[in-house]
Amino acid sequence: MEISAMTRSVVKRNHAVICPDGYVNSVVPGWTNCRVNVLINEQMGARLGQTLITATADTVIAGDTDTAQIFFYIISGSCIAKVDTALQTLGSGQFVYVPAGHSYSLEQFSADTQIVTFHKVYEPLKGHTAPPVIFGDAAKVEGPAFLGDPALRLQVLLPEDLSFDMAVNIFTYDPGGHLPFVETHIMEHGLLYLQGQGVYMLDHEWYPIKKGDTIWMAPYCQQWFTAMGKEPAVYIYYKNVNRFPT
């Protein structure tokens, strides 16, 4: 193995860039015969969890969501997902959202399967019933132009309904596309680059970013992105939504 003291990863008070060269595996009870990398967690000051699972044919990912809902997105490969009694085969670009208080199992993986997960302790909202289990496919979700710019397309994977307190979106930028302004907001993000490259500005520091990188942005971490290269830049990201700002 090449020995190196170089990395693009940084972990700061209100943002982090986590690149694959620094991964160290975790053991998660119930998630067996797989590699788990915990990319974002409350230990860094975050209020969400983000993990990357690399599965083999004999992997089983099973558990109860208890208080924290989980969103599983298949980056590559396939598996069979079961939530309570509902069963579905999931392939690349497909996902399952498991609300708090349900049991799940993902099994029968193809050898090359990678899954990104986002989890958050669910905050119920008076007058609204808890969200349902959702199986979905990003390929079937429309991606309208973002704020009128056709170089930017945003796919919203979960229903825009007040019962949900988290969103998971896929953002696609054509080469040269960029966020229209520097965002400064209360919502937190966890994101994973699925394709391409570009430059992210996080709190006035500039980072080259590419496929495979993770970014954590705490509330009010200022953020701006421009895509570079010859193919679109694509990232999937989490955002907390729809609750009173305590």
Q: Which residues bind ligand UGY (CB under 6 A)?
A: 171, 183, 189, 223, 239
Q: What is the largest CA-CA distance in the chain?
A: 57
Of 135 and 220, which CB lies nearer to ligand UGY in the complex structure? Answer: 220
In terms of C-beta density within 10 A (0-12 exposed, 13-18 middle, 19 or more buried), how is residue 214 classed? Answer: buried
Partner residues linked to 137 by β-bridges? 94
Of 123 and 183, which CB lies nearer to ligand UGY in the complex structure? Answer: 183
Of 107 and 183, which CB lies nearer to Mn ion in the complex structure? Answer: 183
Name the CA dihedral angle for 79, 236, 98, 38, rounded to a multiple of 10 degrees. 80
- Which token pair is 241? 């939504």
Distance CA 167, CA 144 (A): 16
Of 59 and 223, which CB lies nearer to ligand UGY in the complex structure? Answer: 223
Q: Are 93 and 234 in contact (CB under 8 A)?
A: no
102 binds, among ligand UGY, Mn ion, none (CB under 5 to 8 A by kind): none
CB of 239 to ligand UGY, least distance (A): 5
CB of 215 to ligand UGY, least distance (A): 8
Q: Residue 183, interface with Mn ion (CB under 5 A)?
A: yes
Name the segment binding Mn ion (CB under 5 A); options: 5-13, 64-72, 169-177, 180-188: 180-188
69 binds, among Mn ion, ligand UGY, none (CB under 5 to 8 A by kind): none
Of 153 and 189, which CB lies nearer to ligand UGY in the complex structure? Answer: 189
Distance CA 95, CA 102 (A): 16
Distance CA 177, CA 148 (A): 12
CB of 18 to ligand UGY, least distance (A): 16
Cβ contacts of residue 185 below 8 Å, gap of 6+? 219, 220
Of 119 and 239, which CB lies nearer to ligand UGY in the complex structure? Answer: 239
**Closest-CB residue for Mn ion?**
183
153 binds, among ligand UGY, Mn ion, none (CB under 5 to 8 A by kind): none
How many residues can be counted in the chain?
246
User: Alpha carbon 192 to chain centroid distance?
Assistant: 6
CB of 10 to ligand UGY, least distance (A): 17
